[in-house]
Structure 1
Amino acid sequence: MHSLRKSISPSKMLAVVLLSFLSAGTSYGIAQARTSSFSGEFGGSTGSHFDQSNNQLDGPITALRIRANDRYIVSIQVRYGDSWSNTEGGTVGSSSNVQLFLGEGFVQVLGRFRSHMEYLAFRTNQGRIFAFGPSFGSGTFFNAEPSFPNTVLRSISGRSGSSVDAIGFHWDTDE
């Protein structure tokens, strides 16, 4: 036993301790990554890129403000906690507001697109559904859902100009 203690130098011991911390951090990161997922990007390739991932630091999604006309989704604005995001898209068309209940979150988004978003329907974990844009059209349909249970929509990203050209959905736990 005495010879074993003698064979491990202080620098080797430090290396073992550091390696233990690094591998512990890695396994924690892997566990964390299993709650987040991404769906998309759905839509066209024009417009400027936007990403609201940092907005989720203000809290969970609590409301939506979507503007649509008879052909497509013009703009989207999301309230994270008590703070509204930038409006992504244009200013024409009629605006609709959706307020979520405490503890309610979006768990599915159905949509249709061509060169921009034509239609979006959001379903919550309490069974409510909110639809925006024309229900008819010949665009491509998509169904966006989180990859892991007990997760909700936490932020959006995509492309916009005078309309919402493309959109992606970032899912995670509602913390």
Structure 2
Amino acid sequence: MTETLTRDAHGVLVEPATLKIERLLPGPVDRVWSYLTDGELRRRWLAAGAMDLRVGAGFELVWRNDGLSEADDVRPESFREEERMTSRITEVDPPHRLSFTWMDDGEVTFELTPQGRDVLLTVVHRRLPDRAMSLCVAAGWHTHLDILVARLTDTAAPSFWSTWTRLQAEYDSRLPK
């Protein structure tokens, strides 16, 4: 996984309202797929919530970011201890592609591409409403994916809120104004 060390881990806006972020992860692809679709495994890096893997199925994501790392981070005042979002699956092609709605009009797609023993995970978040949300989402996906890498490699996860805060400032200087 030497590419993980050299690939820029930052997301980029590929269109004004579309963020793309990639990570090279240890495979196999079925293992990574389970971390996207199994609520208990997803809870360890992103958000809990059972999924019925069929197009049109609704589900709820439940974030408890305070519990994603060992550190006693200080949560920013603008966030609650628990966040919830109702979504609907818009595309599913196990174990390679999963898309679902995000809030009112956004959409997130996970694409898994085998690369030898590793798996390239590409996350595309579409229809970000404004720059402030783009900064929040970019820092969020980046932090959550760093935690996913830690879970898949059995290493210590970074502190969620301090990492997110640092990354939000980095994205502020990286994303177009």
The structure carrying a bigger helix percent of its residues is: 2
Instruction: Tell me the TM-score normalized by structure 1.
Output: 0.25
Instruction: Tell me the TM-score normalized by structure 2.
Output: 0.25
Higher relative contact order (CA 8 A, sep 6+): 1
Q: Highest Rg: 1 or 2? A: 1
The structure carrying a bigger strand percent of its residues is: 1
